[in-house]
């Protein structure tokens, strides 16, 4: 049978021990609580201050929120660990830190791709090689930047597709940004006949396109002959569109092609078709049959 009196005595002794320990650590407990409350207010104040300072340097709300949260959690962790130290719970603090280190290491291995994308997103936000609204070409995709997140970048292609590219690929690959200069160059490849006057053809082509609507006022139209082709002498005419928008870019190129074709027709400048020469070798047996037929 259970000795109830002895059990009650053991419980009573434990309660008295805990009560004595509580009274003993009561000053430290009060100090730890005061430190924790004051520390939390200071952490919040420093978080708000860091938001303002970081936003001045980055201008990015997402990055500002991220780093200010990191600062807040770091300072809050210091406050909590200090309060635990006051309560003589150093061993508990050491165990928590060791456990956090092991968990962090395991998570780093498990989510290394996510971490790489995340860190790349931070670098992209600081370096700003592209921004929302820019026309860019990344890897095999070209379009307008729709979103820039910490993990990925979303591009809307000119075919209407939404492409989600991990930030690691954005950061590690060349980025062709067509919007930085505020204008785009159009290179048109044209060929004229070997019988035509090359100087006249070049002058006519430049005159035809230099008054097209949508050209950049600070850039000249240039033309250079580049090669002797199979059926034509080829040149490249370069003109600058005053907008980076794809529709305006295509429109200027469209008008330039029409203008060059029209002025060449008016001045009898030929844009030749590709010419192919076929050499046919007749089999000897077929030639012999033809000769025998003629003899008969």
pLDDT, tens digit, for every residue of 231-273?
A: 899 999 999 999 999 999 999 999 999 999 999 999 999 988 7
Q: Which domains does the chain have, with CATH numbers?
A: 4-110 (1.10.287), 130-177 (2.30.30.60), 184-266 (3.30.70.100)
156 bridge partner residues: 144, 162
Q: What is the pTM of this model?
A: 0.64
pLDDT in tens, 58-109: 766 767 777 788 888 888 888 887 877 777 766 666 666 666 666 666 656 6
CA distance 159 to 155: 11
User: What backbone phi and psi angles, to 5 degrees, belong to 3?
Assistant: -80, 95
Count other C-beta atoms under 10 Å from residue 116's C-beta.
17
- Greater confidence, 184 or 107? 184
Q: Is the dihedral of CA 126, 131, 136, 140 positive or negative?
A: positive
HSE-up of 161 (CA within 13 Å, CB side)?
Answer: 7
Write the DSSP symbol of residue 219.
S
């Amino acid at each position: 049978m259970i000795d109830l009196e002895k059990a009650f005595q053991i419980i009573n002794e434990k309660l008295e021990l805990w009560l004595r320990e509580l009274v003993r650590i009561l000053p430290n407990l009060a100090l730890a609580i005061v430190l924790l409350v004051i520390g939390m207010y200071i952490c919040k104040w420093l978080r708000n201050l860091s938001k303002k300072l970081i936003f001045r340097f980055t201008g990015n709300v997402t990055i500002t929120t991220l780093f200010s949260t990191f600062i807040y959690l770091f300072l809050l962790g210091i406050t909590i660990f200090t309060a635990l130290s006051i309560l003589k719970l150093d061993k508990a603090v050491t165990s928590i830190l060791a456990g956090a280190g092991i968990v962090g290491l395991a998570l780093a291995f498990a989510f290394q791709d996510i971490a790489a994308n995340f860190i790349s997103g931070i670098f992209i936000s600081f370096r700003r090689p592209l921004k929302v609204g820019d026309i860019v070409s990344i890897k095999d995709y070209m379009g307008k930047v729709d979103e820039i997140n910490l993990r990925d970048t979303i591009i809307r292609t000119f075919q209407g597709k939404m492409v989600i590219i991990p930030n690691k690929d954005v950061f590690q690959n060349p980025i062709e940004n067509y919007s930085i200069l505020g204008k785009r160059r159009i290179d048109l490849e044209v060929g004229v006949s070997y019988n035509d006057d090359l100087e006249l053809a070049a002058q006519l082509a430049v005159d035809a396109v230099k008054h097209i609507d949508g050209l950049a006022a600070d850039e000249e139209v240039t033309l250079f002959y580049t090669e002797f082709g199979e059926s034509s002498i080829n040149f490249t005419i370069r003109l600058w569109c005053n907008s980076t928008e794809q529709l305006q870019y295509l429109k200027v190129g469209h008008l330039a092609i029409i203008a060059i074709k029209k002025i060449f027709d008016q001045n009898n400048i030929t844009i030749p078709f590709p010419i192919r020469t076929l050499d046919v070798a007749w089999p000897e047996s077929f030639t012999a049959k033809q000769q025998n037929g003629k003899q008969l």
